[in-house]
Structure 1
């Protein structure tokens, strides 16, 4: 069978199937059978819920659940999947249970076991609106009255592990790739070119001044934004320069991790932390700084990824540049327009507690983004992870991330015949749960299972099939999902047409999974101990 025919068949199957988990049978997006077996047990539902718990035994029959946060598992190397698996199991099934049930770390029982929400000392959702003044800055008097911000134990610990992951990226790349990077830089003008580069030489190259001009114009517009709209942006001009410098420094090491593992460590935590220290009490400034630091680096890696694909596909470089430039303008305009339309037309959008059950407008990623702006920008690291907060001990994870790759490197030198040691990638292993939340355990369970099945068992036993169809299958599943998603939105969701109330349309049915277990904590829908 040709790849084209295989793509069409897989595309049609993906397109036809997605109507079930997306509209007709929502429970297929998170099948948590432990909750069904123990409908009245909080502990069982905390363990079994794939959306609000540890997700033991939970799974989904929905490609959007599998590939939404970690990307397609079909295109991720097996050693990287193993690193994610090890990191996920260590954190989700060892560290969190011990912290929650064994040690009650950070008063864990007062809060849900898995949540990105912010809480007060009584285990209630923190009333953020009371500590923000008219300038969208921290009202310190009201903050002192409301008290400290508390995080769920999972959210707090994963922040600490995130500290270790981003520092370990620099150490890992320096130790394992530093020599190769330096040799490549020195040989870049004299080394022999490969067949792909020779074939690409028949096209006109991109003049350097195109890139420099784009950089200059982008920086100039950004500086104007920071100076002319300084009350709205909250970030001074020097913040833009620091953010740009951070993106420049981290692009190469993060690109190397991405190129070898298909997993991209994020700069979001370190950019938020730095700006929170420099300008505490300004959430918008923190968001803007993160965008110019972290998102710029992420987009740069996507840009490089496109060029590398164009290099292998023999697409003229100038055509690639123009397509990327025009696509950026179109995508930016459309995204802003759609976001503005949704914010003004969907009532209570992103406010989960005010929306009807199974509403598509809960915005899990945006809620985490908002909570992060409160933690790092509004309240500030000093009042969360510093001397005035509850979690200063988590700063020791920075040291762990610095030292960890050194230990792996020394083990590799001491036991050079043990090739598996060189496959340990701490930035990926430590950053395994960086997407959680908004990603949940059911996302990881499915991603790991599919990745292991296709990149180990199928590759090992049906290598020719894997080489011919694996990547085509991944693209077909993505395409079928996207087209059916658009069709469902414009034909049904936009017109308010629902399937009605029945068991299969109520999600995973684990209502007790997010309940606290500390005595005296009152939460609607949960028993009081």
Structure 2
């Protein structure tokens, strides 16, 4: 994006760009030279020598080196003497981790669920911390030579941030539970407890250790804003201001709680009382008994054309977190996938659609479900006689192009960063190579404040990786977990490659690329000519390679949250390990409880009357295991020869846009990120296509109109409202879950707004 204008007012700086990834970032300690960061990783200088902006002139040069969105939110002062690893911290972290780890694991087996909100932890943890500071005795304790005070002083926002970071790490699910559940539910093999726990801890800690790969490039550079960490910092600092009786902070927190209560009440309507509001199918209202218009307008089984949603579950806080250019790309991808490709497949009469148009199941050539169970021998190898009898496995049309773009997105994630981010990474590497640490590379105010604390030494990451690798090798060399040891090495290598490019994209845009089934496809190729292979091995492989990225992202984001709130890096590192040490055993206990009490629902022996315990994720993993391991990729690609060209597209598309950007630098080709587009195209809508239009409208209001024209209000309330909406929604789901599923089993009576045939009133479907 080429920009030639003078900076006249601090609030007007945002007019230079349209999203927070392109914010003002001076790279020199000189207010006369200002550079804007383009989302592609390039810079352009904007002269401000004639600027009369007194606000800019009053700021120190080291403050000007920070993007404006950071200057507006993050405190630029610090008191290093505030304790953070207190008894109160350990107590509250443990209390909040246990239910979160259990609920998040349990939720993975349900159709809908009561999510465990990290914003709830921030709010409740801060409140509980102040209560503990008020009532705990100020007593010194000597526990096995470890001396500490139960109540060392006033509760601080730093302790609240530490509790948040620990819960963000431990109060989550674990990818390994999918592989363990798949083996037990569909193949009757139980993983021993020591093996399961060792594997679960190891893949998490491998991810944390892999964060060191991207840390020096992405963590302390001011240009990378890490929007999710900014949102959490906004809430934390608003709580701090409220504690100090700040009028603005008190007003922000008052609005925060009003919105939470309002959304919690409202969500009872689309989620339970008035589900009609969850999918407003305008075309169905026009012709409620016309099949064509019903299919076009329905968001629950159709294309979702001109379909709106008033359900926050279908909108989400992404409209307040993702830069506007990300939201534009995602909406374009949705229009192409749902409004163009789906009707083309359904009505083109070219043989694309024979059944399962919007399904992720497997089908016979006539469109009927494939009898997958008939394909397996007792030793879990392929029954070739049955395969020859039933014929090739067919995919639903939407699932087929999802896989195509899934492959493209994975390759594009690497290619895009190599092309657009090469100069930046080269510069960062040279700066780092020529300095002792990041403190001599970046001279902005936050890095100066951060320099007071001891950095996490690289050998900590190396030791963590060494312990994890040793555990994994012990597991696989002893013949456990359905996969050869050498496949573990390949998974670790694959995970290391993807960490930096995906973290680069996430740090700028808050967009997390779902790795999808690429890892399982790779495993299928590696094992294609191996006689004895276990179908669950693909998911084990994917758990290792996938967690290398997902947990690295968790670590870097929490480190950035600690950076914004001036926490010692070593304390943050420890807090994440502590969170996982507590959380992983709880994950496993939740897994055992679900399999002990809901197994018949999950394996299909019984149908859950509430249609909640369906295990959809496990079912999808089972389908992938059959496709990639039992049948092998070659059989899949013989029937779908165009699928491998997704890799070619992911390789070439970024190169084409890169060349167009070089030739026409003012045409914004750099904003059309192919990784975001392909990843959005790979999203499986299934029968849910509502909410996307509402999301785009909401994003246009928040991240374009309000950000550009009402920026003073945006900077005060955008992240606060995002947190409030999410928390209110989660509170409503929790209320519904407890009142109508746990305490009593109650279904909402049918009425006009909850029609038994179609809540959208699309009666012809």
Q: 2:337 aligns with which of 52, 76, 91?
A: 91
* Residues in 2 aligned to 1:42 and 1:333: alpha-carbon distance in whole angstroms: 51
* Residues in 1 aligned to 2:490 and 2:515: alpha-carbon distance in whole angstroms: 13
Aligned twin of 1:169:
413
* Residues in 1 aligned to 2:479 and 2:264: alpha-carbon distance in whole angstroms: 45
Aligned twin of 1:225:
475
- Using the TM superposition, give the Cα deviation of residue 347 of structure 1 relative to its aligned residue in structure 2, in angstroms: 6.4
8 Å Cα contact 2:402/2:683 also seen in 1: no
Residue 209 (str. 1) matches residue 459 (str. 2): yes
Query: Closer, same or farther in 2 for the Cα pair 1:263/1:104, shift >3 Å?
Result: farther
Q: Pairwise CA RMSD of aligned residues?
A: 2.5
8 Å Cα contact 1:365/1:438 also seen in 2: no
Residue 142 (str. 1) matches residue 383 (str. 2): no
Query: Closer, same or farther in 2 for the Cα pair 1:224/1:11, shift >3 Å?
Result: same
Q: What's the secondary structure of 2:307's corresponding residue?
A: coil
8 Å Cα contact 1:276/1:376 also seen in 2: yes
Residue 379 (str. 1) matches residue 379 (str. 2): no
Query: Closer, same or farther in 2 for the Cα pair 1:282/1:383, shift >3 Å?
Result: farther
Say which structure is richer in helix: 1
* Residues in 2 aligned to 1:38 and 1:52: alpha-carbon distance in whole angstroms: 16
* Residues in 1 aligned to 2:729 and 2:410: alpha-carbon distance in whole angstroms: 32
Q: 2:261 aligns with which of 4, 9, 12?
A: 12
Aligned twin of 1:61:
310
8 Å Cα contact 2:364/2:393 also seen in 1: yes
- Using the TM superposition, give the Cα deviation of residue 354 of structure 1 relative to its aligned residue in structure 2, in angstroms: 5.9
Aligned twin of 2:367:
123
Residue 346 (str. 1) matches residue 598 (str. 2): yes
TM-score normalised according to structure 2 size: 0.62
Per-residue deviation, residues 343-368 of structure 1 (Å, max 9, x unmatched)? 33236535789646763334444443
Query: Closer, same or farther in 2 for the Cα pair 1:373/1:445, shift >3 Å?
Result: farther
- Using the TM superposition, give the Cα deviation of residue 25 of structure 1 relative to its aligned residue in structure 2, in angstroms: 2.8
- Using the TM superposition, give the Cα deviation of residue 291 of structure 1 relative to its aligned residue in structure 2, in angstroms: 0.9
- Using the TM superposition, give the Cα deviation of residue 269 of structure 1 relative to its aligned residue in structure 2, in angstroms: 2.7
* Mean Cα deviation higher: 477-486 or 243-252: 477-486
Aligned twin of 1:483:
731
8 Å Cα contact 1:114/1:154 also seen in 2: yes
* Residues in 1 aligned to 2:622 and 2:286: alpha-carbon distance in whole angstroms: 35
- Using the TM superposition, give the Cα deviation of residue 512 of structure 1 relative to its aligned residue in structure 2, in angstroms: 6.3
* Residues in 1 aligned to 2:644 and 2:669: alpha-carbon distance in whole angstroms: 27
Q: What's the secondary structure of 2:517's corresponding residue?
A: helix
8 Å Cα contact 2:302/2:687 also seen in 1: no
Residue 253 (str. 1) matches residue 501 (str. 2): yes
8 Å Cα contact 1:368/1:437 also seen in 2: no
Query: Closer, same or farther in 2 for the Cα pair 1:255/1:487, shift >3 Å?
Result: same
Aligned twin of 1:461:
709
Q: What's the secondary structure of 1:46's corresponding residue?
A: helix
Per-residue deviation, residues 213-265 of structure 1 (Å, max 9, x unmatched)? 221222222222223343xx221111111011111011001111112222122
Per-residue deviation, residues 315-336 of structure 1 (Å, max 9, x unmatched)? 2212211221122233333333
- Using the TM superposition, give the Cα deviation of residue 497 of structure 1 relative to its aligned residue in structure 2, in angstroms: 2.0
Per-residue deviation, residues 24-73 of structure 1 (Å, max 9, x unmatched)? 23343333343455454443333222132211122222212222xxx622
Query: Closer, same or farther in 2 for the Cα pair 1:265/1:239, shift >3 Å?
Result: same
* Residues in 2 aligned to 1:433 and 1:508: alpha-carbon distance in whole angstroms: 25
Aligned twin of 1:72:
318
Aligned twin of 2:740:
492
- Using the TM superposition, give the Cα deviation of residue 425 of structure 1 relative to its aligned residue in structure 2, in angstroms: 0.6
- Using the TM superposition, give the Cα deviation of residue 277 of structure 1 relative to its aligned residue in structure 2, in angstroms: 0.8
Aligned twin of 1:522:
none
Query: Closer, same or farther in 2 for the Cα pair 1:42/1:104, shift >3 Å?
Result: farther
- Using the TM superposition, give the Cα deviation of residue 208 of structure 1 relative to its aligned residue in structure 2, in angstroms: 2.8
Matches within 5 A, 1:123-522: 123-188=367-432, 189=435, 191-230=441-480, 233-280=481-528, 282-346=534-598, 348-350=600-602, 355=607, 359-385=611-637, 387=638, 390-418=639-667, 420-437=668-685, 440-503=688-751, 504-505=753-754, 506=756, 507-508=759-760, 513=765
- Using the TM superposition, give the Cα deviation of residue 310 of structure 1 relative to its aligned residue in structure 2, in angstroms: 1.2
Residue 24 (str. 1) matches residue 268 (str. 2): no
* Residues in 2 aligned to 1:119 and 1:146: alpha-carbon distance in whole angstroms: 10
* Mean Cα deviation higher: 275-284 or 174-183: 275-284
Aligned twin of 1:524:
none
* Mean Cα deviation higher: 162-171 or 329-338: 329-338
Q: What's the secondary structure of 1:52's corresponding residue?
A: coil
* Mean Cα deviation higher: 479-488 or 255-264: 479-488
* Residues in 2 aligned to 1:434 and 1:330: alpha-carbon distance in whole angstroms: 35
* Residues in 1 aligned to 2:425 and 2:579: alpha-carbon distance in whole angstroms: 31
8 Å Cα contact 2:401/2:682 also seen in 1: no
Aligned twin of 1:517:
none
* Residues in 2 aligned to 1:40 and 1:172: alpha-carbon distance in whole angstroms: 47
Query: Closer, same or farther in 2 for the Cα pair 1:509/1:356, shift >3 Å?
Result: farther
Q: What's the secondary structure of 1:305's corresponding residue?
A: helix
Query: Closer, same or farther in 2 for the Cα pair 1:394/1:192, shift >3 Å?
Result: closer
| Unaligned ranges ≥5, structure 2 | 1-247
Query: Closer, same or farther in 2 for the Cα pair 1:510/1:155, shift >3 Å?
Result: farther
Per-residue deviation, residues 98-126 of structure 1 (Å, max 9, x unmatched)? 333225353x0x21331112111221112
Q: What's the secondary structure of 1:56's corresponding residue?
A: coil
8 Å Cα contact 2:496/2:548 also seen in 1: no
8 Å Cα contact 1:113/1:153 also seen in 2: yes
* Residues in 1 aligned to 2:509 and 2:740: alpha-carbon distance in whole angstroms: 39
Query: Closer, same or farther in 2 for the Cα pair 1:36/1:369, shift >3 Å?
Result: farther
* Residues in 1 aligned to 2:401 and 2:682: alpha-carbon distance in whole angstroms: 11
